[in-house]
A = this chain, B = another copy of it.
Amino acid sequence: MTDTLVHAPVITPEALLDHWQGHRRLTRRLIEAFPEDKLFSYSVGGMRPFAHLAMEMIRMAGPGLNGIVSRKWEHFDDKKGAPTTKEGLLKLWDETTEEINTLWPQIEPGRFQEIDVAFGQWEGPIYWTLFYFIDNEIHHRGQGYVYLRTLGIEPPPFWDRN
């Protein structure tokens, strides 16, 4: 601990996991806040419904972390089958939560600074790839806030990550 403090990290791997899972808890509340039919069909400005955006997050998170840990990347697949109910989507969300918690401690300490090609397509340091997963979730979830507002539904507060 003293050693860690002397070397003064910006953020530890444990804290980044907690940061991401905090965001994911909030995103889960957004999924829950949508009426079931609106989750899969409603959109604003011709954009994708929120269930599609949530599936993109799921398809980045689990397979992405698998690639980071194993160094073997699947092709990013945004076409394969997806749940058609809110319950099914939340179940998949929760399975991904567990998968992330299981895989995260398997990231080797030096791995965050390694350059790799995520999903065989996107080259950058691993920390950059992880931040992309998180940032992309925040970005699309922000869009979900607008969808909910236009439906007259008060979204969960942005600052609450518990």
Binding site for B on A (CB under 8 A): 3, 5, 7-13, 15-16, 19, 23, 44-47, 109-110, 112-113, 125, 127-128, 131-132, 135-136, 138-143, 145-150, 158-159
Contact = CB atoms under 8 A, between A and B. Distances in A.
B12 A10 contact: yes
A150 B47 CA distance: 9
Given A10-B10, A15-B127, 16 more contacts: A5-B113, A9-B112, A9-B113, A10-B11, A45-B146, A45-B149, A46-B149, A47-B146, A132-B159, A138-B139, A139-B139, A139-B141, A139-B145, A142-B142, A143-B145, A146-B146
Give how many copies assemble into the complex.
2
A135 B23 CA distance: 10
A53 B79 CA distance: 34
Q: Which of A11, A113, A143 has the most CB of B within 10 A?
A: A11
Contacts of A142: 138-143, 145
Contacts of A139: 138-139, 141-142, 145, 158
